[in-house]
């Protein structure tokens, strides 16, 4: 019995060595196939839950919803039409020499006048004169106003990005486009149906989704969208249409030519104070095409 102990010890030793060798091999295999880096750390029980999407980036704007009429992003101006990239230096010269040099200072107005391609609003045979300091004929006995007058009248309205404007007489659509560069919305009515159609198509092609044009008599304004922060008239009448005075918002401003189509005309600035009282001021002598329609009838 005493002679059996060395044999038993040797067996036990060999078994222990074998077990250690197996464990060492297993550790090598596990180390070889285990992922490296922080991903190898097992998640805590509290972290083993369904991953939630990260919050939206507040600086990233989502796409506008074309089915939402209240989504104001639909009215953003993009200036993608090729006309905006044409004759840029001529517009800059027009602004510096004809407009800024004559005391128009509102930076929004100056920027709008540099931006809107006036040559896109005149007939093809007039395009070479598009940036001259003069009104130009656009057909049907109508004109596009002198650039300085457009800028002067726009500045007088004191527009801001929230302003809603009504225009009497769309004409080519140029004055509406200048206002649209600054304000939120422009509603404009043209009594000559052919001009209304062409101006509407032109403004759409140029990318002015915030200008709304219709054919009709601007004497009655556009009650569905009143009151207006500002009203601008581009045709002269012997009196200011009463509906326009009613549709001007308290605190609002109106500028338009007043006088005889065949005699003296003056730009008149009308302001309505917070209490609704009107104040009138003659600004300068001008010459505009006559306003036609209801305004020409005798006052009732």
Q: What residues are annotated to the active site?
A: 145
Report how far residue 61's alpha carbon sits from residue 63's, in angstroms, rounded to the nearest whole number.
7
Torsions phi, psi of 105, nearest 5?
-120, -20
Assigned token pair, 27: 């550790």
Assigned token pair, 153: 């009248």
* In contact, 231 and 166? CB cutoff 8 Å: yes
* In contact, 252 and 231? CB cutoff 8 Å: yes
**Vertex 105 angle, CA 103 and 109, to 5°:** 120
Assigned token pair, 232: 């601008």
Q: What is the dihedral of CA 24, 29, 33, 38, to 10 degrees?
A: -10
Length of the chain, please?
Answer: 300
């Amino acid at each position: 019995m005493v002679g059996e102990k060395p044999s038993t010890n040797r067996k036990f030793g060999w078994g222990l060595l074998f077990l250690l060798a197996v464990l060492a091999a297993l550790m090598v295999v596990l180390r070889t196939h285990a992922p490296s880096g922080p991903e190898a750390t097992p998640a805590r029980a509290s972290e083993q839950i369904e991953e939630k999407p990260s919050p939206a980036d507040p600086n990233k704007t989502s796409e506008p919803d074309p089915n939402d009429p209240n989504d104001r992003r639909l009215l953003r101006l993009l200036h993608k039409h090729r006309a905006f990239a044409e004759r840029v230096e001529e517009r800059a010269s027009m602004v510096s020499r004809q407009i800024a040099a004559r005391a128009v200072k509102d930076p929004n107005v100056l920027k709008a006048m540099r931006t809107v391609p006036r040559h896109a609003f005149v007939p093809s045979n007039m395009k070479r004169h598009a940036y001259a300091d003069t009104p130009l004929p656009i057909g049907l006995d109508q004109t596009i106003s002198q650039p300085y007058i457009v800028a002067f009248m726009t500045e007088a309205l004191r527009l801001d990005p929230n302003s809603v404007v009504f225009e009497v007489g769309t004409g080519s659509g140029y004055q509406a486009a200048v206002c649209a560069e600054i304000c939120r919305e422009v509603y404009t009515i043209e009594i000559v149906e052919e001009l209304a159609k062409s101006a509407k198509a032109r403004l759409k092609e140029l990318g002015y989704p915030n200008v709304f044009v219709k054919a009709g008599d601007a004497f009655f304004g556009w009650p569905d969208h009143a009151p207006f922060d500002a009203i601008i008239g581009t045709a002269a009448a012997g009196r200011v249409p009463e509906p326009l005075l009613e549709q001007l918002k308290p605190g609002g401003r109106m500028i338009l030519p007043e006088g005889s189509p065949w005699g003296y005309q003056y730009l008149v600035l009308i302001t309505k104070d917070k209490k609704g009282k009107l104040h009138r001021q003659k600004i300068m002598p001008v010459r505009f095409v006559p306003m036609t329609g209801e305004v020409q009838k005798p006052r009732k």
